[in-house]
Amino acid sequence: MASITIRNLDEGVKRRLRVRAAENGRSMEEEARDILGRSVGEARPPKDLGRAIHARFVALGGVDLELPERGPMRPPPEFG
């Protein structure tokens, strides 16, 4: 398991954490682990970027774009 250090923690926050831990019969460290675990929730798989963009703009409706005609490919450059 990993560990972290929290610097510059406000004394009031530390005091409330200590009281909350005592009320729940836990150490401050165990209480902090529980709070952090519930706050970040379960790990979720990353969203597909294309689907995320689509979901963001689907309510706005579609757009028909006029696509230009494709021409033949130009010949590759000659290095010689």
Torsion region of 36: left, alpha or beta (phi above 0 gives left; psi -120 to 50 gives alpha): alpha
Q: Say how many Å lie between the first and final Cα of the chain, rounded.
A: 60
CA 26 to chain centre: 30
15-72: pLDDT as tens digits:
999 999 999 999 999 999 999 999 998 888 877 998 888 888 888 887 888 999 999 9
Under DSSP, the state recorded for 27 is -
Q: How far is the C-alpha of 16 from the C-alpha of 22, rounded, in Å?
A: 10
Please count the structural domains in the chain. 1
Within-domain flag for 55: no
Residues in contact with 30: Cβ distance below 8 Å, sequence separation at least 6, in sequence order:
21
Domain region containing 15: 8-43
Task: Look at residue 71 and tell me if it is in a domain.
Answer: no
pLDDT value, residue 64: 83
Is residue 24 a part of any domain in this protein? Answer: yes
